């Protein structure tokens, strides 16, 4: 059973009528890994491309952070995901440190212009767009009750004042839910921008649990398939590929839908320009073909939804005759 959790918080949202780009961050499916040139805890370390695991932290023997992030075949999709492991191998086993992963390099807060958290930070990577939501999948394997959480900040360089302006910021807790334990859960968080403008840098941090309580030793949080959502293009993977492909566009008498979001009860609906429902088709395979020989030329809207009618993505296509 797939569970989708929508995370909401208050704030102001500034929208633009300009076209929205898709140049999002990289390796959100966590499929691409590389062997680092250093060792930690007596073993070689693998690191996902475009993501930091603690290699640039300084002081307090921060190599201890690296041990807590490994690749794993326990996945939501693809071949790899990230395993965030909570462990007590620091300060004579008196302090527990959760697994943490950062978009870009993981750095000390003092080394960046805009700090997300008091100690650990993300150097961030370039972006040139404002997505409307952050989406990802998590799976909890917690023997002791815990709270995973994540942080993000979207910024834009202010040339006049020579500083970074914060366009959007959030820290969101994900408390354990025993009903959803040990299964992949989709989380969707609407991004609220508190000032106008287009972001040029995004920083993300994911924490597998809380610091401190040694009773949480061995708790594991899995993370996979991190995406952004854009209103004009639908969900876009962090590696830039769309979650859903609808083609040909323009179409004539047939439409093909390819998506990894195929589940029993998922549906693909087509609406005309006036919002009238034209067609609804079950999406229970990776590829589905819909015949539309009687559709008049014009613009149409589509919507992919799950069995609870939650919209997973939406977009538009054109019919020509």
Q: In this structure, what CATH number is given to the domain that contains residue 274?
A: 2.60.40.10
Residue 52 token pair = 């930091």
> How do residues 39-57 score in pLDDT, each as one tens digit?
444 445 567 777 877 655 5
Domain boundary among 192, 210, 237: 237
Torsion of CA 132, 220, 261, 200, to 10 degrees: 30
Identify the pLDDT of residue 280: 94
Domain boundary, last residue among 237, 264, 294: 237
Answer whether residue 222 shows pLDDT above 90: yes
pLDDT at 233: 56
Quick one: tokens of 163?
């500083």
Q: Dump pLDDT digits (tens) for 147-196.
A: 999 999 998 888 888 888 999 998 888 888 877 788 888 888 888 888 88
232, 253: one domain? no
Name the 3-class secondary structure at 181.
Answer: coil
Residue 10 CB partners (closer than 8 Å, separation 6+): 192
Give the pLDDT score at 278. 92
On the 0-12 / 13-18 / 19+ scale of CB atoms within 10 A, 292 is middle
Answer yes or no: do 47 and 193 share one domain: yes
- Sign of the dihedral through C-alpha 179, 182, 184, 190: positive
Give the structural domain span for 271.
244-319
Q: What percent of the chain has pLDDT over 90?
A: 11
Specify the pLDDT at position 10. Answer: 38
| pLDDT-derived band at 13, boundaries 50, 70, 90 | very low
Model pLDDT for residues 229-266, shown as the tens digit of each residue: 876 555 555 545 556 778 888 889 999 888 766 667 88
Segment 127-145 mean pLDDT: 87
**Residue 8: pLDDT above 50?**
no
Token pair for 310: 């939650």
pLDDT band (50, 70, 90) for residue 269: very high
Residues 184 and 291 in one domain: no
Mean pLDDT, the chain, rounded, equals 75
Identify whether residues 200 and 155 lie together within a single domain. Answer: yes
Distances from the Cα of 97 to the Cα of 146, 149, 188, 210, 220, angstroms: 12, 13, 26, 7, 12
Q: Are residues 155 and 274 in the same domain?
A: no
Q: What pTM, to 2 d.p., does this model score? A: 0.65
pLDDT confidence band for 291 (50 / 70 / 90): very high
Q: Tell me: do 92 and 214 sit in the same domain.
A: yes
Same domain, 276 and 136: no
Statement to judge: residues 212 and 306 lie in one domain: no
Predicted confidence at residue 206, as pLDDT, reads 92
What is the 3-state secondary structure of 77-91? CCCCEEEEECEEEEC
Tell me: pLDDT of 310 over 80. Answer: no
Examine the domain organization and report whether 164 and 253 are in the same domain: no
Q: pLDDT class for 128, splitting at 50, 70, 90?
A: confident
From 205, 237, 269, give the residue that closes a domain. Answer: 237
How many structural domains is the chain composed of? Answer: 2
216 and 279 both lie in a single domain: no
Lowest-pLDDT range of 10-19, 173-182, 191-200, 269-278 = 10-19
In a shared domain, residues 144 and 251: no
Same domain, 16 and 158: yes
CATH number of the domain bearing residue 84: 2.60.120.260
pLDDT higher for 146 or 178?
A: 146
Q: What per-residue confidence (pLDDT) applies to 7? A: 53
């Amino acid at each position: 059973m797939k569970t989708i959790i929508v995370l909401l918080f208050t704030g102001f949202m500034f929208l633009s009528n300009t076209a929205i780009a898709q140049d999002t961050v990289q390796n959100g499916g966590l499929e691409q890994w590389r062997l680092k040139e250093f060792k930690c805890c007596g073993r070689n370390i693998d690191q996902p491309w475009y993501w930091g695991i603690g290699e640039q932290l300084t002081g307090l023997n921060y190599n201890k952070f690296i041990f807590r992030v490994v690749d794993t075949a326990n996945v939501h999709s693809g071949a790899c995901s990230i395993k965030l492991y909570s462990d007590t191998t620091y300060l004579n086993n008196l302090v527990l440190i959760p697994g943490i992963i950062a978009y870009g390099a993981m750095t000390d807060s003092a080394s960046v212009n805009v700090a997300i958290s008091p100690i650990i930070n993300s150097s961030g990577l370039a972006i040139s767009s404002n997505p409307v939501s952050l989406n990802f999948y998590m799976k909890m394997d917690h023997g002791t009750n815990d709270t995973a959480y994540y942080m993000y900040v979207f910024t834009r360089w202010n040339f006049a004042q020579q500083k970074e302006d914060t366009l959007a910021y959030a820290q969101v807790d994900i408390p354990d839910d025993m009903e959803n334990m040990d299964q992949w859960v989709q989380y969707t968080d609407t991004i609220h921008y508190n000032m106008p403008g287009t972001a040029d840098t995004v920083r993300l941090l994911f924490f597998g649990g809380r610091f401190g309580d040694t009773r949480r030793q061995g708790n594991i949080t899995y993370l996979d398939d991190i995406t952004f959502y854009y209103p004009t293009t639908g969900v876009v993977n962090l590696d830039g590929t769309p979650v859903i492909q609808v083609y040909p566009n323009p179409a004539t008498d047939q439409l093909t839908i390819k998506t990894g979001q195929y589940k029993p009860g998922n549906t693909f609906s087509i609406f005309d320009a006036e919002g009238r429902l034209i067609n609804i088709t079950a999406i229970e395979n990776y590829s589905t073909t819909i015949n539309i020989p009687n559709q008049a030329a014009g613009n149409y809207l589509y919507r992919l939804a799950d069995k609870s009618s939650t919209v997973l993505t939406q977009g538009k296509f054109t019919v020509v005759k």
